[in-house]
Structure 1
Amino acid sequence: MAVQKWMKTKFPGVRYREHHTRMHGRQKDRYYTITYKLNGKTKTEAIGWASEGVKPADVSDQLNQLKRNHREKTGYKTLAEKRELAMAAERKVQDDQRLAQKRKMTLADVWEQQYFPQAQNNKAEKSWKREESLFRIWIAPLLGEVVFSEIGVKDLEKLKAVMAKKGASLRSIEYALAVVRQMFNVMISYDLHKGDNPVSRVKKPKEDNRRTRFLTKDEAEKLLESAKERNVVLHRMMLLSLYTGLRAGEILKLTWEDVDFANKMLSIRDTKSGKNRHVYMTKLLFSELKLQQDVRCDSDERLVFIGRFGGPMNEVSRLFKELVDDLGLNEDIEDSRQRVVFHTLRHTFASWLVQRGTPLYTVAALMGHSTIAMTERYAHLAPDGLRQAVAVLED
């Protein structure tokens, strides 16, 4: 195939060549270019085909505009630069449209499209279900239709006030604010929100939600005796919490590899505080775990406590609540911090130690507390020790 020659037009700097087969009406299709000088060098740029609507006069107008820009030192210097500027302008229009759309997104839109899907992927089921409940019951009815980017401190204070008026606990109010705060954090991390996080400017409600109830020796004995009669596995789990301070989750994850009968010691791994620790068995606990080992001697299961149908247990038996109710330990008690739950056994362990003069730092180590401040709630249980400390000044 012969190479097509470039042909001149009556417009200076405008050339074309004809396609050897492609037609435009009765004539062969023509492809137009322009040639001009830029910074002392000859530059050629393609324009397009006649069949696409390109006309020599229009091409000449574009060339003349370029030359004017060169002389006046304004605007684009090449057609490629012109196209880049046009594309940038188009991108800006699209970005502005997207930004405007983002600004119109309501809190409910952000929840459904951005926040909740990632929460389900990244959080424990218990956590995202709790957040979903808070959003559905409290946040959405009040702020769901508010434009997300316009939510401010005033809206969040209103949320606090409404929840408090309707009887929500301070913990629930604080949790609801935390959900909104995390929604803003996610949008900021996705570059979908350019402002600050308004929750950071809201004074968060505070209350001491820590449980304070612990069992007397008589209450503990009755509860253990009742459990032993009904369910020996639950009884042993209760002994572990009462005499080592283990959390329910730590008991459920305990394996036989963690049980050191030779040294009467348990190794607690992957704890809530992130620090492994060791606890020690009483004679009673030692003997009960030996019995538990005998029960499971024919099983390949590594866990000390397994479910009825094999495999791990997901939670402590609901029988515990029945035992507590049968003994009337929660009768007429409205304050949740004073109600007996399985975690009360752990508090009882710490409380009994402090009452018998065990130093707080020792109790903190046995409990696996990350800071001594968490253990200081038990300090008031050792008044004699405090009194004796001051008494040394008498000498």
Structure 2
Amino acid sequence: MAKLEKTRYPSVYKRVGINDTSFIIKYKIAGKLNEEVAGKESDGMTAKKASEILDVRKNHNLDKKVEVANSVKAKKSFQNLAKSYFDNLYLEANEESEVEDREKKKKTSKNIKREESVYKKFWGDWNLKMLPIAKIRQEQVLKHINSKKSAYSDKSIYNALTVAKSIMKHTAKEHSDLNNPFMIDEYKKAKKNNNRKEYLTQSQCSMLLNHLRDCSTFKNYVLVLTSLMTGARPNSVLTLKVEDIDFRKNEIKFYDYKRKMPYYSKITKELTLNLKKQVEDLKRQNYVFFNDDPSVAYSSYPSSIQTVLDKLFNAEKNEDEERIVPYTLRHTFANLLLQVHKVPVFEVSQLLNHANISTTIDHYITFNHDLVVKDLNHFENAITQNHVTAEELLIDNLKDFDLDDDVILKIIDRVKKLAI
């Protein structure tokens, strides 16, 4: 038998015989090498046509591989799929371990742990998590959700469903037709109602800062002061570097991790003085807020700050009430500027680096009955004064001079005559 000869097309060969030339293609099926005669030259076969046949065979084989993989996936349990999903996320995060946070394109380990925690708390005790995913129905998911309603808010349920959908989306990369029982629209509205209702008053802010100044570290004091006076998100404050502060311009360059962009914020006199003190022994590339090593930023607010917040503001709250947390400082900044100091909402939106002013209006403005009553009293005084006569106003003003009633009456009479 004649020897196989290579052609210009990969995995396509030819065997030249005495009377004819055959074209052979090679490809794998289930890991085994398969050799097939694509055709003979006398029948019009060429190396190019053999290559096209090879592509068809490979694609068909790929379809079968996907079909087998999908079948395996469908037989896996929700817990198996979740493990695969989180393992993949941690692998991606590990690949970016040397990349600075603001340059990362994948989820950070901190965010993955938070997502994994949501999964374990909400779905960890589900008795159907070991059932093959193809057998799980939406009504079973709803039954589990209903059993959790007494302990979880609609927003928390929405978050748990979002994690479950992400797990299924990861699976669907190879199997778009796989049943997804977590596609429940009922809790979508919870995403829109995630605005915080709690924020600190000015007196509470003073109480917090005084407590930190007297009973905590200077670093904690400056960290909270920076958050309160700029309204920046926690991760933007925590990853602030010395080189991001321009004391000549009284300006800070923050990085907005949500919008993936830098933005600038002006700093006030008191904050400037304290930041200068905080960074005086640090290098330009060092982080402003850190634990022991200035080259490594805080991954989250120090627990000692949350302890202070709990002690001052959360001690008497029940489980249903919204707790004061570090993110509350951003909402405090917005609400005090808007409602107490009457700063225009457009300006506050710019300070918060919101992409749209509607975000500020929908999520950061909290209705305050006490402030509205004060405004109504001012309004009432303004309009009811119009019902007071000129004579009554004159009498009221003259009484400030401790004049006798006879003298006041003479003055009024004189004014009347002049008016005529």
Band the TM-score falls in, shorter-chain normalisation: 0.5 to 0.7
For 1:175, the aligned partner's letter is N
Which SS does the other structure have where 2:210 is aligned?
helix
Q: 1:347 to 1:335 in 2, by over 3 A?
A: farther
- Give distance in 1, aligned partners of 2:57 and 2:270: 83
User: How far apart, in 1, do the equivalents of 2:320 and 2:253 lie?
Assistant: 31
1:212 touches 1:337 (CA, 8 Å); kept in 2?
Answer: no
> Which of 173, 188, 203 matches 2:186?
203
Contact 1:173 1:205 in 2 (8 A): no
C-alpha distance in 2, partners of 1:253/1:325?
Answer: 24
User: Partner of 1:263: helix, strand, or coil?
Assistant: coil
Deviations 1:371-393 (A, max 9, x none): 323311316357549x98xx9xx
Q: How does 1:59-78 map to 2 (within 5 A)?
A: none
Distance 1:337 1:205, change over 3 A: farther
Is residue 184–residue 193 contact of structure 1 (8 Å, CA) maintained in 2?
no
CA shift for structure 1 position 224: 0.9
Matched, 1:285 2:257: no
2:359 to 371, 374, 377: 374
3-state SS of 1:338 partner: coil
Matched, 1:343 2:327: yes
Between the aligned partners of 2:136 and 2:352, the Cα distance in structure 1 is: 42
Aligned to 1:184: 168
* 8 Å contact kept, 1:214–1:347: yes
1:365 shift after superposition: 0.8
How far apart, CA to CA, are the structure 1 residues paired with 2:160 and 2:145? 9
Residues 351, 127 of structure 1: alpha-carbon distance in 2 compared, 3 angstrom cutoff: same
Equivalent residue number for residue 159 of structure 1:
144
1:237 aligned partner: 223
Change (3 A) 1:126 1:280: same
Is 1:116 aligned with 2:86? yes
Quote the Cα distance in structure 2 between the aligned partners of 1:274 and 1:267. 13
Larger Rg: 1
TM value normalised by structure 2: 0.63
Q: Kindly indicate whether the alpha-carbon contact (under 8 Å) linking 2:155 and 2:187 is maintained by their aligned counterparts in 1.
A: no
Q: 1:135 to 1:325 in 2, by over 3 A?
A: closer
Give how far 1:216 is off. 2.1
Q: Closer, same or farther in 2 for the Cα pair 1:218/1:102, shift >3 Å?
A: closer
Asked if structure 1 preserves the Cα contact closer than 8 Å seen for 2:241 and 2:284, the reply is no
Q: Secondary structure at the match of 1:214?
A: coil
Asked whether the 8 Å contact 1:156–1:177 carries over to 2, the reply is no
Report how many residues are paired: 317
Residue 156 of structure 1 deviates from its aligned partner by 2.3
> What is the percent sequence identity of the aligned residues?
24
Where does residue 64 of structure 1 map in the other structure?
A: none
Question: Structure 2 vs 1, CA of residues 322 and 163 (structure 1 numbering), >3 Å: closer, same or farther?
Answer: closer
**Counterpart among 330, 343, 354 of residue 314 in structure 2:** 330
Structure 2: how far apart are the matches of 1:254 and 1:94?
49
Distance 2:248 2:59 in 1: 75
Task: Specify whether residues 96 and 339 from structure 1 end up closer, same or farther in structure 2 by C-alpha distance, changes over 3 A only.
Answer: closer
Equivalent residues of 1:279, 1:366 under 8 A apart? yes
Q: What stretches of structure 1 of length at least 5 have no aligned partner?
A: 1-15, 18-34, 36-41, 46-84
User: Out of 346, 368, 374, which is 1:361 matched to?
Assistant: 346
Q: CA deviation at 1:92?
A: 9.0
Which of 135, 138, 153 matches 1:169?
Answer: 153
- Two-structure CA RMSD over aligned residues (Å): 4.1
Give the Cα separation in 1 of the matches to 2:59 and 2:206.
78
Take 2:60 and 2:249, find their aligned partners in 1: how far apart are those partners? Answer: 75
| Closer/same/farther in 2, CA of residues 345 and 184 from structure 1, 3 Å limit | closer
Deviation at 1:44, TM superposition (A): 8.9
Q: Deviations over 1:109-138 (max 9, x none)?
A: 3233x3232122343223333343344444
Q: Secondary structure at the match of 2:186?
A: coil
- How far apart in 1 are the matches of 2:230 and 2:68? 61
TM-superposition CA deviations, 1:23-64 (whole Å, max 9, x none): xxxxxxxxxxxx9xxxxxx7698xxxxxxxxxxxxxxxxxxx
